[in-house]
Structure formats: C-alpha cells, structure tokens
C-alpha cells in the first residue's frame, strides 16, 4: 500500500488535481506515496489531517511545532523546502524519532549573487543616488560618495562560513576585497583554502568594512548582532543580511543607523515579514531592502520542490536522506545507509 505525504492546503484554492499541482514533488514520490492536502488554518486541524501521514512536507506555511509533532503518529520524515528549518521544532522532531530534511544547496549561487548586489548597492548608496537623480538633486550625489571609501582593499567580514558565505567569498575577491570570517564550527583549513582569514568574533566586528550575516537561526544566533556589537564596529561599516532576519536585533540596528554607529545596511530579511509600513528602516536613505527574494530565479522554486520530494522519497523508501538536519536521529530509525550508484552502472551490472 502506498504511503501518504501531508502538505498544507494552498492559501488560494486551485482547480487542478493534486497530481498536477505537485507534479515536481511526485517525480520522486509517485512510485511510493500519494500527497494529501491538509487544512493548516489551525494547529488542531493540521494535526487532525496529518495524524496518520507517513511524512509531512512544508516550506513557509504552518509552523510544525512540538504540539503538532506529538500528534503525528506515523510520521517518518518532515521535508522542508528551504535552507532554513526554523519553521520546524527540530529538537521535538529528534525526540520523536522523526528525520528532518532540507535543501541546503539548491539556490546558493542566487543568494550569493544577491548578497553581492546588496553589498555594492548599499555601499554606493544607490537608494539615495536614485532619489537625487529623480528629484532634481543631480549635483548632490558626488559629494555624498566623496566620503565613501573605494571598494578595492576594503575588508569583508563573514559571520558563518557555510555554502552561501563561501560562494560570496569567491565572488568578493574579484572586487579586491580582503575577506575574514568567524565560524567556530568550520575548520580553519577550509577558510584558508578559500583565501579567507579566520578571526575571532570580536576581531571580525572591529575590522569589517562590510559585514555579511549568514548563520542559521537558533537560540545561540538570535539577536547576535545587537547594541554592543554595533558599537564595536566601524562608523563606516555596512551590514548585509541575506540569511535570517532575527539574527539581527532590528531595534538595535535602527538605533545604530540613526546614531551613525554604522553607515548603511542592505537587507533581504527582517525580523517581521512583511514589515509594518511605519518601520523606520523603510524610510532610511542609507538602507536598501528587498522582500526576502534573494533565492528567487526561474530555477529556484522548481528545483527546490524536486529536491524536497527526493529527500522525502529516500526516507519513505527506507534510506537515509542526503540532507538530514538532525543526523543524530538516524541511528534510532529503521532507515539504512545507502550509496548512490554511478549513472552508468546500476546495482545489478
């Protein structure tokens, strides 16, 4: 008998059948599972619909918290269609013996491109330059930029040195930036192998002309950039965030920008999304904001859905997934290790 995968009902009703709407996920899942849609308007309704499901797939819908996880009686795997998994209580899933997967390497290049775009645009005060060009202040732009150091020879600091930060570092070298990074969970040899100087957190803050923020969101990283950290930075520093909004204490960022403790910011993510329209960041000429769109391209959404389906299909077929967020749970599951065969050689050849 086929297994079942629960997905939250779309916000807008679709007329196409489930098999058509989830064709990308079903490329891998179809031989072993059917997708069922579950009412996610309340946690109670979601539990009622997903209770007997063998898997749950999510992206940016309902938060899969400990209460929901406790109500999943047969769930083997929760597949998250993004890099970040903060919409799932991973600790509760681990305690329940449920594997959590993500898609950590699908849109790395896109986010790295967007990070460099914000770095260049915020550094060159593009928002202000565009306003001046449009409202008759043509000759006021150059005097502003006369006080902005040239990019070549400046220092880019990276908080965390995962896939995106590595891709950012490779791009930044072409602009003549010296790159430093802080990540206590990454080998210094990996950093130096990329031509990146490993430093302490305090040194990172003190030396960075541009600071790009890349850690995942958890109890240790939430609000890790706050008043004390901004006070330790250069007054000319520019902060870039294409990771998770809540890593930055937004009220502290606003204070730092208003007081001149830092010079500018480029943000693709915020603590609250969408922001209130009276959020001071939206009105600042030295702040450039994009609507959590760094990963968006023609390829991103389709490939993310395919990859999410493949991860869940691996787990439902009794194998370890490729991208397990909570790997300590794997030995406690009936899933077994597997090795992919080369494309030109199957298991029986």
**Rg of the chain over all Cα atoms, to the nearest angstrom:** 23
Q: Indicate which residue of 51, 124, 292, 319 is catalytic.
A: 292
The residues near 97 (Cβ < 8 Å, ≥ 6 apart) are 329, 332, 333
Asked whether the beta carbons of 108 and 163 are under 8 A apart, the reply is yes
CA distance 133 to 26: 50
Handedness of CA 188, 189, 192, 196 (dihedral sign): negative
The reply to whether 114 belongs to the active site is no
Say if residues 127 and 285 touch (Cβ distance below 8 Å): yes
- Cβ neighbours for 16, distance < 8 A, ≥ 6 positions apart: none
Report the C-alpha gap between 349 and 339 in whole angstroms.
15
The answer to whether the beta carbons of residues 148 and 123 sit under 8 Å apart is: yes
Find out whether 207 and 230 touch, Cβ atoms under 8 Å: no
Enclosing H/E stretch for 170: helix 163-172
Q: Which of 44, 48, 73, 273 is catalytic?
A: 273
Tell me the three state secondary structure of residue 238.
Answer: strand
Q: Choose the catalytic residue: 214, 244, 306, 310.
A: 244
Of 266, 308, 9, nearest in space to 156 by CA: 266
- Among all residues, which ones are annotated catalytic? 244, 273, 292
């Amino acid at each position: 008998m086929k297994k079942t995968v629960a997905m939250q009902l779309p916000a807008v009703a679709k007329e196409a059948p489930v098999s058509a709407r989830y064709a990308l996920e079903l490329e891998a899942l179809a031989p072993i599972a059917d997708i069922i849609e579950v009412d996610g308007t309340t946690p109670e309704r979601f539990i009622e619909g997903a209770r007997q499901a063998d898997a749950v797939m999510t992206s940016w819908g309902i938060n899969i918290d400990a209460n929901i996880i406790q109500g999943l009686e047969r769930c083997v795997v929760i597949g998250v269609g993004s890099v970040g998994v903060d919409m799932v209580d991973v600790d509760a899933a681990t305690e329940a013996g449920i594997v959590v997967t993500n898609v950590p390497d699908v849109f790395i290049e896109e986010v790295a491109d967007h990070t460099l775009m914000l770095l260049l645009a915020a550094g060159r005060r593009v928002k202000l330059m565009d306003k001046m060009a449009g409202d008759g202040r043509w000759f006021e732009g150059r005097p502003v930029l006369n006080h902005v150091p040239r990019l070549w020879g400046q220092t880019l600091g990276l908080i965390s040195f995962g896939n995106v930060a590595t891709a950012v570092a490779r791009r930044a070298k072409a602009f003549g930036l010296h790159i430093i990074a802080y990540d206590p969970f990454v080998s210094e040899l990996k950093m130096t192998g990329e031509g990146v100087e490993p430093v302490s957190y305090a040194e990172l803050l003190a030396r960075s002309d541009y600071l790009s923020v890349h850690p995942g969101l958890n109890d240790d990283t939430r609000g890790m950039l706050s008043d004390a950290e901004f006070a330790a930075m250069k007054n000319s520093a520019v902060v870039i965030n294409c990771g998770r909004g809540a890593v930055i204490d937004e009220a502290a960022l606003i204070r730092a920008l208003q007081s001149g403790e830092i010079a500018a910011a480029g943000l693709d993510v915020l603590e609250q999304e969408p922001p209130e329209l009276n959020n001071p960041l939206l009105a600042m000429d030295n702040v450039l904001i994009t609507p959590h769109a760094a990963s968006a391209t023609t390829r991103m959404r389709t490939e993310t859905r395919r990859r999410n389906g493949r991860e869940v299909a691996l787990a439902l077929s009794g194998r370890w997934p490729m991208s397990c967020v909570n790997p300590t749970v794997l030995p406690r599951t009936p899933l077994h290790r597997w090795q992919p065969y080369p494309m030109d050689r199957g298991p029986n050849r």
